[in-house]
């Protein structure tokens, strides 16, 4: 019986964001935008969806008088990502 893929993660940009954030402790919004080549608007929407799902934590603060948004994966996000990869492996029999 195949496990259903998490619809929150099975989206190209959201999966890219999660894969990036899994690899680092935390990352600035600009870093994620640079690595995913996404537009700021699109990225904001997807980051918000991941935040609403409880998969990432978004910290908004000011640095040198400029707004700075930092994202990091939550334990729930880590678990969801692990489950997603396991499900993928089941599908692909790897």
Site string for other proteins, 26-65 (x = CB under 8 A): xxx-xx--xxxxx---x--xx----------------xx-
Nearer to other proteins, 76 or 82 (CB): 82
| Least Å from the CB of residue 76 to other proteins | 18
Told to check if 83 binds other proteins by CB under 8 A, we report no
Contact 40, 82 (CB under 8 A): no
- Measure the CA–CA gap between 81 and 44, rounded to whole angstroms: 20
Closest approach, Cβ 68 to other proteins, in A, equals 10
Cα–Cα distance measured from residue 45 to residue 8, given in angstroms and rounded to the nearest whole number: 12
Residue bearing tokens 């600009």: 30
Q: Pairing between strand 56-63 and 66-73?
A: antiparallel
Nearer to other proteins, 37 or 61 (CB): 37
* Integer Cα distance of 14 and 81 in angstroms: 11
Q: Which residues bind other proteins (CB under 8 A)?
A: 5, 10-16, 19-20, 22-28, 30-31, 34-38, 42, 45-46, 63-64, 85, 88, 91-92, 94
């Amino acid at each position: 019986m195949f496990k259903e893929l998490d619809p929150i993660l099975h989206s190209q940009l959201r999966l890219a964001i999660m894969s990036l954030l899994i690899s680092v402790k935390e990352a600035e919004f600009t870093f994620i935008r640079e690595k995913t080549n996404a537009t700021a608007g699109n990225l904001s929407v997807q980051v918000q969806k991941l935040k609403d799902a409880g998969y990432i934590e978004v910290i908004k603060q000011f640095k040198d008088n400029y707004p700075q948004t930092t994202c990091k994966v939550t334990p729930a996000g880590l678990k969801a990502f692990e489950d997603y990869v396991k499900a993928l492996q089941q599908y692909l029999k790897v």
